[in-house]
Chains A and B, each alone.
Chain A
Amino acid sequence: MDDLVVSTPVGLFCPAGGFHIDPWGPAERAVVTHVHADHARPGSAAYLCTEASAPFLRRRMGEAAVVQGTAYGERVRLGGAVVSFHPAGHVLGSAQIRIEAAGQVWVISGDYKRAPDPTCPPFEPVRGDVFVTEATFALPIYRWPEPDAVAREVMAWWERNRQAHVASLLFCYAMGKAQRLLAELARLTDRPVLVHGAVAEVSELYRQQGVSMLATTRVAELPARRSYAGELVLAPLSAGGTPWVRRFGEREIALASGWMRVRGTRRRKGYDRGFVLSDHADWPALLRTIEETGAGRVLVTHGYTEELARFLREGGRDAGVLATHFEGEADV
């Protein structure tokens, strides 16, 4: 039986359906798991994604782009294949893609996590013959603490800095992680938070879809020469080390990311604090998910692929690596 999905120079391709999945080069039709930049790239003729992803995709690709949104679970026929989206729990709008054709079912996970997240529907296991899984954190050292415990750590850090009259500058992915933090913190405080423009833009789209979060103010809207002592500021990693951060005066800087589980990584990147908060599955969640899909064959992309595939093979499973371009992306 032919593989439903194959690796091509521009990304994963489904010959039966005539579409690419998260292509990094121009494609006729791109089926997009979620709107992170390494998965949703400009240049394709038409995009198919979830309804929740569509507003983000339109903003990213411009009004001229052809973007079609579809509800979770809805079956869409593309060529000789039937395609449907299922919650991946990664960020708002993120989906696994189920492809059915020629009597086979393949499930492409995209990025996913199993930990609770107040900003998006939880991951739903989908049964299939073949499961294509991500492996960003596929080493047993990566096991996540409870997100609400992490949120309390962030609060304690902010509080300590407030008392010391220094600013708390927390770096995080502007799409997804920032909103998750704002939603988690809303359970613990009602103090407003300052945000970088990139975070503000995404948060606005989240709010339009009914996600409730702490009130935010754009740093750019505040008067110049204002004191930031005691404030919490959320900013994308790209703002780190730029003149933008100088305005905050005395500050502590932190990063919220799964990579912060390892001390050396935090120190090497020069953060004062690291909060272990990831939008990816940790090691136990990866293994549990693979189990739950019931898939006889597992293909691994994105991250510690060789490690996960070998571990699965040694456990008696049919597993291999599916080469993609995502490797080495700064996935935080």
Chain B
Amino acid sequence: MKAFARLYEELDRTTSTNAKVAAMAAYFRSAPAGDAAWALFFLTQRKIKRLLPTRVLWELTLEMTGMPGWLLEHCYAAVGDGAELVALLVDRPVDRPPAEDLSLERWMEERVLPLKDMDLAAQARAMREYWSDLETLEILVLNKIITGEFRVGASATLAIRALAQVAGVPQPIMAHRVMGDWPPSAGFFQHLLAPEPEHRLDSHPYPFFLASPLEEDPASLGARAEWMAEWKWDGIRAQLVRRGGATYVWSRGEELVTERFPEVIAGATHLPEGTVLDGELLAFRDQVLPFAVLQKRIGRQKLTPSILADAPVAFMAYDVLEEGGEDLRERPLSERRARLEALLARAAAPALRASPVVEGSGWPDLARVREEARARNVEGLMLKRLSSPYRTGRRRGDWWKWKIAPYTIDAVLIYAHPGHGRRATLFTDYTFAVWDQGELVPVAKAYSGLSDAEIAELDAWVRRHTRERFGPTRAVEPVQVFELAFEGIAASTRHRGGVAVRFPRILRWRKDKPAAEADTLDSVKALLTARA
């Protein structure tokens, strides 16, 4: 556990990509395979189910230290990270000798995972014991793992790069090997390091190719004839894998979501063995339905007949990566597209559709078509180079997303919350409101979009203009106006204002605008009708 905690600290400490890769590679080389497997599991952003909520750790901390709740909250304001807060309060008293170091694998398998089957009292007893065996940083790491919040200061791509170095295989091959669901075991890790993959797991998807946002005029891409245009769907990106007589559906988050989509699985039985399609899961009845409908479907634990009827789903395929067991990713898109259409025509399954090619002879024509996007419940257009292979990860040049402008509103800052991680001691999360009959009604929570300097300035302002405190949250004087952008809007009964916005972010700080001139709830709701 000590070596893994040190790796965590090193990744947290350095901003240099090379240093991060070097630290991970050194760990993979020196750690026992079972530890390395677990480390890779976490470094590739995989998570174990939350075993205990942070709240329980806090209660345990209060019990152990005997401190009052308000003091814990003041401490939280100074630390800004729940797992670290607990570590700083319960860590080993200076006079106690450190316990023997146990490997990460044994920690996970003998101590962490068994928490799942304990009752609350036994969990509490176990946690006390664990904490007393560890140093501050190890407690922090343990707490984050147990609360399902473990994240490291390095992307999965960097971890894969480090592992590719250690194994001496090209990075895309390593990316493919670590995809999907696998048990973090010594055996699996050794298998990863093998010079040639001994066998391929049937269920494995390919690494997704991701589009980059197009910020310039599409004319900069060259001749229109070299490009294929499709709608940019607002659904769940997924790969449909048909191998070994079974079907697997993988979301882009590398989550196996097969059982959520029975109608797609039924359709997939019409596909030949050895087929992998890339596409989008969408709520669909004669036409694409809003994302909110799809959400209804995902949010349910049990798929009742009425949910299946209310939120039917289709798989909108736009690429074929494997046919007859053959990897097609190096073939040009034009060829893959022709194969895809033929494949789907033969399957003739209504739940499997080919994402239509959007016509339009020149770029200006296409720009006009793109204006229909909002009415069609899509986010804009995708532009794909007809001669391009199917690449790995976000590589600029061949796939572009040409989105329509998001919705924007001017809203007033009403609450500030402390951030997490790097921004732990700053107020970086904000709640915004708009006017409704002389009252401010919250409509969005947003945290991204401000520069570090603006965050610091706003943080100082929040501290000086706090009206009321609710734990770590500050209610501030309602004077600061911000322009917010969001990708979507839907009616909602769960939100006070009656609307829910999707992916809100801050576009700019409108210091020029008095709060009284911020948007009203009516003008926000008008966006709803604009959509329908």
Contact = CB atoms under 8 A, between A and B. Distances in A.
Interface stretch (B100-108, B292-300, B420-428): B420-428
Nearest to A270: B15
A311 B12 contact: no
A139 B74 contact: yes
B422 A268 contact: yes
Contacts of B65: 140
Interface in B68-88: 68, 70-71, 74-75, 78-81, 84-85, 88
A140 B75 CA distance: 7
A273 B13 contact: yes
Given A141-B79, A261-B88, A262-B84, A268 B68 contact: no
B386 interface: no
Interface in A219-268: 261-265, 267-268
Contact of A264 (B67, B74, B421): B421
Interface in A264-290: 264-265, 267-268, 272-273
A307 interface: yes
B422 A262 contact: no
A314 interface: yes
A3 to B, nearest CB: 28
Given A272-B13, A273-B13, A311-B68, A139 B75 contact: yes
A140 B68 contact: no
Which of B67, B74, B426 has the most A CB atoms < 10 Å from its CB?
B74
Interface residues of A, number: 21
Contacts of A304: 74
Given A264-B421, A264-B425, A145 B94 contact: yes
Contacts of B94: 143-146
Interface in B410-424: 421-424
Contact of A268 (B74, B84, B88, B425): B425
A140 B71 contact: yes
B89 interface: yes
Contacts of B70: 310
B14 interface: yes
A140 B79 contact: no
Contacts of B88: 141, 143, 261-262
A204 B229 CA distance: 75
Contacts of B424: 262-264, 268
A265 B424 CA distance: 8
A274 to B, nearest CB: 9
Contacts of A268: 422-426
B458 to A, nearest CB: 15
B12 A263 contact: yes
Contacts of B89: 140-141
B80 A264 contact: yes
B78 A141 contact: yes
B78 A263 contact: no
Interface in B44-95: 65, 67-68, 70-71, 74-75, 78-81, 84-85, 88-89, 91, 94
Contacts of B79: 141, 262, 264
Contact of A139 (B13, B78, B91, B423): B78
Contact of A263 (B67, B84, B91): B84
A264 B78 CA distance: 9
Given A139-B75, A141-B75, A264 B81 contact: yes
A114 B84 CA distance: 25
Nearest to A141: B88
A304 B426 CA distance: 18
A22 to B, nearest CB: 25
Given A145-B94, A263-B84, A140 B78 contact: no
Which of B70, B88, B423 has the most A CB atoms < 10 Å from its CB?
B88
Contacts of B85: 141
A262 B68 contact: no
Contacts of A310: 70
Contacts of B67: 140
Nearest to B135: A145
Contact of B14 (A263, A272, A314): A272
A264 B71 CA distance: 19
Contacts of A264: 79-81, 84, 421-425
A265 B425 contact: yes
A262 B425 contact: yes
Given A141-B78, A145-B94, A268-B425, A311 B71 contact: yes
A137 to B, nearest CB: 10
A307 B74 contact: yes
A261 B68 CA distance: 21
A202 to B, nearest CB: 29
A273 B6 CA distance: 13
A148 to B, nearest CB: 11
Contacts of A139: 71, 74-75, 78
Interface string B13-27: 110000000000000
Contacts of B74: 139, 304, 307
Contacts of A272: 13-14
Interface in B119-154: none
Nearest to A268: B425
Contacts of A144: 94
A139 B84 CA distance: 14
Contacts of A263: 12, 81, 84, 424
Contacts of A143: 88, 91, 94
Interface string A185-211: 000000000000000000000000000
Which of A144, A263, A273 has the most B CB atoms < 10 Å from its CB?
A263
Contacts of A265: 425
A314 B13 CA distance: 39
Interface string A285-328: 00000000000000000001001001100100000000000000
Interface in A18-58: none
Contacts of B421: 264
Nearest to B426: A268
Which of A140, A146, A307, A311 has the most B CB atoms < 10 Å from its CB?
A140
Nearest to A262: B79
A272 B16 CA distance: 11
Contact of B422 (A141, A267, A273, A314): A267
Contacts of A307: 71, 74
A310 B67 CA distance: 12
A141 B74 CA distance: 10
A311 B81 CA distance: 23
A266 to B, nearest CB: 8
B233 to A, nearest CB: 38
Contacts of A314: 68
12 contacts: A141-B79, A144-B94, A145-B94, A262-B78, A262-B79, A262-B84, A267-B422, A268-B422, A268-B423, A272-B13, A273-B13, A310-B70
Given A262-B78, A264-B423, 12 more contacts: A140-B67, A140-B71, A140-B89, A141-B75, A141-B78, A143-B94, A262-B79, A262-B425, A263-B81, A264-B84, A264-B421, A268-B424
Closest 7 CB pairs of A and B: A264-B424, A141-B88, A264-B425, A141-B75, A264-B80, A139-B75, A267-B422
